[in-house]
A = this chain, B = another copy of it.
C-alpha cells in the first residue's frame, strides 16, 4: 500500500465508474475517447526524479499518457512509454529522443512555446483528446515559478472543465470544488490553502483541528498542517478557491 495505494485510492475517489485498461507497452494510437468512458489522462512534466513507482501506477490507470517535453525523460527513467510527447521539444536529450523514436512515440510539436509552458500545452492536448480527468505528475520542489505554474494549472483545468490533480508522487494537490474526500491514513498531513481572498463556510471531518463553517483568508496559515484522524477526511466549503494538499506521512 503506502504511497501507491494512496494515489490509487485518490484516483479512484476522483473518478467513480473507473474502467481499468492498463497502459500499453508500445502505444500505436491512444485509446482516448474510444470506449465512450470518461478519459483519464496523465501528463508527465519535467522532474521530479523520485516517485517512479507512483508514476507507473498512475500510467497504468490512465487511458492517455502525455509527456510534456522534458517530461519524456522522467517517463523514460520510470519505464513509462507515453502516447505522445507534447511541447516545443527544446528540452529533450538525445537518449530520450532515440528511446522515443524506437518506440514510435508520436510528437505534437508546438512552435510558439512562449505562449504557454509545455505542461499547459499538454493539458490542452489532453482536453482535445477527450480527457475529463487529468493527473499532473510534476516537479513541485524545483524552481519556484515552475512549481507555482504547475499548481495554478489546476485553475486552467477547471476552466476546461477537467478534474485535475497535481502530484510529485507523494503529495497531491487539488482545488476543492464544493466538497472533497481525502482517502489516506491516520497521521497524514492535510493542508488547506485559500487561493482566493477569502474562503467561506469551510467544514471538515476527520481532521485533528476541525473547522465548522470556518473562514480562511488568503495569507493565513491557519489551515496548514492539519492531521488526519482516520482513513478518510472530508472538506466542504460554500464559497472561494481552496487548495487541498495531502501529504502521506
Contact = CB atoms under 8 A, between A and B. Distances in A.
Interface stretch (A30-38, A58-66, A93-101, A144-152): A144-152
Interface residues of A, number: 46
A78 interface: no
A168 B218 CA distance: 22
A247 to B, nearest CB: 6
A102 interface: no
A142 B143 contact: no
A143 B243 CA distance: 14
Nearest to A140: B144
B153 A219 contact: yes
Interface stretch (A15-23, A127-135, A176-184, A220-228): A220-228
A144 to B, nearest CB: 4
Contacts of A146: 224-225
A145 B189 CA distance: 10
B168 A144 contact: yes
Interface of A: 114-117, 119-120, 140-149, 151-159, 168, 171, 173, 189, 191, 193-195, 209, 217-222, 224-226, 243, 245, 247
